[in-house]
Amino acid sequence: MSGPFMIFFNMTYGGYTWETYAQINQRVNDVGSGLMHLNERILGNSQLNRWSVGIWSQGRPEWFITEMSCNFHNLVSIALYDTLGPDAIEYICQHSEIKVVVCSIKNIIQMMKIADNLPELKAIVSMDSLRDSATAPGSGDNNSADRLRSWGNEKGIKILDFDEIEALGKMFPRKHTPPHADEVASICYTSGTTGQPKGAMLTHKNFIASIGTNRESMHINADDVLISYLPLAHIMGRMVDTNATFAGCKVGYFRGDVALLMEDVAELKPTYFPTVPRLLNRIYAKIVAATIEAPGVAGVLARRAVADKLVNLEAGKGVHHPVWDPLVFDKVKMALGGRVQVLLTGSAPISKEVLSFLRVALACVVTEGYGATEGMAVGTITMADFPSILFFSEYIPGHVGCPRPGIELKLVDVPEMNYLTTDRPYPRGEIRIRGATVFKGYYKDEKNTQETVDPEGWLATGDIGFMDDRGCLTIVDRKKNIFKLAQGEYIAPEKIENILTARCNLVMQIYVHGDSLESTLVAVSVPDPETFVPFANTITGAAIALNDQEGIARLCEHPQVKSAYLKELEKAGKAGGFRGFEFVKRLHLTTDAFSVDNELLTPTFKVRRPQVRDKFKDVIQAMYEEMRNEVPAAKL
């Protein structure tokens, strides 16, 4: 296939450069042949045994090329999260017996530090040229490739770069080794909100089935441009990119810095933008501030425009408007480069308000999908606005669509949480999925495999949902993260957190805590500066600026601000239909955001509950102590 395909970023950003599919195909052949030659002729390993290749970097062309090279030669690719941390990386490398790791240059040092604990590791391939820059231990300079190689030799590890592997492949080309359908293509380790990550074995059949069913919902072709910034170690990002290459469209990678993502988007001008709610919530807040919350005539026009378009959307009349689009929303669309036709969101819930607003403000299709790593991120998806293909376009928010072709879905009773398939008006229960996309099992973990997939092939997702009269699925809860309060009531904290985040615009992040020794819930919340600072300034009479971190921290500690914030959470809880014991009774505000770097979020932006609990254990204990020490007003 010809036509543009991949783009490269230099170590110092210099813009996009493109390679054609034909060029990439040749590179895949060369890298695959080079890896095979490295393993057999240089490392002296048998060609008869299948072996694994670890891939550790942010999304970039070399990631894709390495994975496709593994597929060409029936090797097993092991996805390593760029921000998993040294302990998890070491565990995965040991667990999957990785022989070769292909990684970005910044990760080589980390690999070398744990190399003594990785007896199977024999080679590291740098995606970046070792001639440009490397840092050997204690070198203190930028010309240390030789020292790095020497360090590797001391530990019995060969260190090469991508160019060398490609050159080996050109010199010693190999025939492909086509895999069988049920052989493992990749082991994708779950991000592990608790305990060590589990390795989901994904077969070639799983990948092909996912591509087949996704073609029914993505509707992209060779004219489209994809912005690729989702982690390729996460199955959602990988399947989006794989489907994009299957369609022959252009794939443009971001430069690796999420803080600069919007700059990359502005330059690339994508037509297709897969993303996650965390980013969409930020985009939503910025657009709201610039439109419906704007002062004067601009705000009046924007509010009228949004209201009119929402009415049209709810009536099933689409996301475009002949008057308001050129007058108001064409400028808004430039926030994403001006050409986005489809936004795809997944990995976590997105609120109804945000979803509907973005549909009308960006005048584009916003589809929401649902799936799991163990099912190739394939389950359900909302319909897109393609009248020539589909009978209708989706305009009702709050659900994740209907099952994709080839996917069976059923609900199973969860009586301990009062979710039953006999519930009215709609059946409710744990979501189970079956189809050719369901994984082979967890690597070296038969116990968890049997608990996750039953003998009939049904994958237990751990999510709770209901199916409406249109056959669309709505996610309402999570089965795993539940606990009892002292009075015996079951609490699903993720459900509470999702509702509070969606319905209270002060919340950027929130962690809700409770246990069997307490009768009430407490919370730790990171406020969104763009909404929180004006809110708190009004209460205190202060004039704290958005970039004044110390000032914002003082606002978080202000008793009146915390009290008012708690009342806003209460309003959100009432709007979300909370029962009495689901309301948060005490609150701690912090500017210490939950992030992957501080290990409070997984690489897919899910809260690591045990880690957040441990970090704030003193604060949580103090909130409960404060409530216990209060004297009821009636006794004063």
CA 79/CA 101 separation, integer angstroms: 10
The listed CATH number (3.40.1190.20, 1.10.238.10, 1.10.3720.10, 3.30.300.30) that belongs to domain 483-635: 3.30.300.30
Instruction: Classify residue 140 as exposed, middle or buried by CB count within 10 Å of its CB (0-12, 13-18, 19+).
Output: exposed
CA 72/CA 31 separation, integer angstroms: 10
Place of tokens 């995965």: 92
Residue 406 · residue 209 · CB < 8 Å:
yes
Highest mean pLDDT among 82-96, 157-171, 353-367: 157-171
Amino acid at 177: T
* pLDDT, tens digit, 9 for 90 and up, residues 406-423: 999 999 998 877 889 999
Least confident of 5-9, 159-163, 436-440: 5-9
- Stated length of the chain: 636
* pLDDT, tens digit, 9 for 90 and up, residues 608-633: 888 898 899 999 999 998 888 774 44
List helix spans (H) across 487-540. 493-503, 529-540
Written as one string, the DSSP assignment of 282-298 is HHHHHHHHHTTT--HHH
| Mean per-residue pLDDT, 543-558 | 93
Taking alpha carbons only, the member of 318, 335, 321 closest to residue 284 is 335
User: What are the boundaries of each domain within the chain?
Assistant: 4-178, 244-478, 483-635
- Mean pLDDT of the residues in the chain: 87
Q: Which residue has the higher pLDDT, 416 or 310?
A: 310
Q: Which residue has the higher pLDDT, 44 or 297?
A: 297
pLDDT of amino acid 317 = 86
CA-to-CA dists, residue 633 to 64, 627, 636, angstroms: 65, 13, 5
* pLDDT, tens digit, 9 for 90 and up, residues 237-286: 999 999 999 999 999 999 888 888 989 999 999 999 999 887 888 888 88
CB atoms within 10 A of CB 399: 22
Task: Say what angle helices 559-575 and 529-540 make with each other, to 10 degrees.
Answer: 120
Q: Record the tokens describing residue 394, joined without a space.
A: 């989706």
| Mean per-residue pLDDT, 560-574 | 95
Residue 428 pLDDT exceeds 80: yes
CB atoms within 10 A of CB 228: 27
* pLDDT, tens digit, 9 for 90 and up, residues 339-394: 999 999 987 778 888 899 999 999 998 999 999 999 999 999 987 754 433 345 57
Q: Which residue has the higher pLDDT, 636 or 522?
A: 522
pLDDT of amino acid 452 = 95
CA 611/CA 615 separation, integer angstroms: 6
Highest mean pLDDT among 435-444, 462-471, 483-492: 435-444
Can you state the percent helix, strand and coil of the chain, rounding each to 5?
40, 20, 40
How many Cα neighbours within 13 Å face the side chain of 368?
Answer: 25
How far apart, in Å, do the first and last CA atoms of the chain sit? 81
| Mean per-residue pLDDT, 161-179 | 96
Residue 193 pLDDT exceeds 60: no
Do 4-178 and 244-478 share a fold?
Answer: yes
CA-to-CA dists, residue 468 to 463, 473, 475, angstroms: 16, 7, 11
Confidence of residue 488 (pLDDT cuts 50, 70, 90): low
Rounded to two decimals, the pTM is 0.78
Place of tokens 């400028």: 331
Which CATH code for domain 244-478?
3.40.50.12780
CA 44/CA 438 separation, integer angstroms: 36
Query: C-alpha angle 488/493/494, rounded to 5°?
Result: 150
Homologous superfamily of the 4-178 domain (CATH): ANL, N-terminal domain (3.40.50.12780)
CA 122/CA 129 separation, integer angstroms: 19
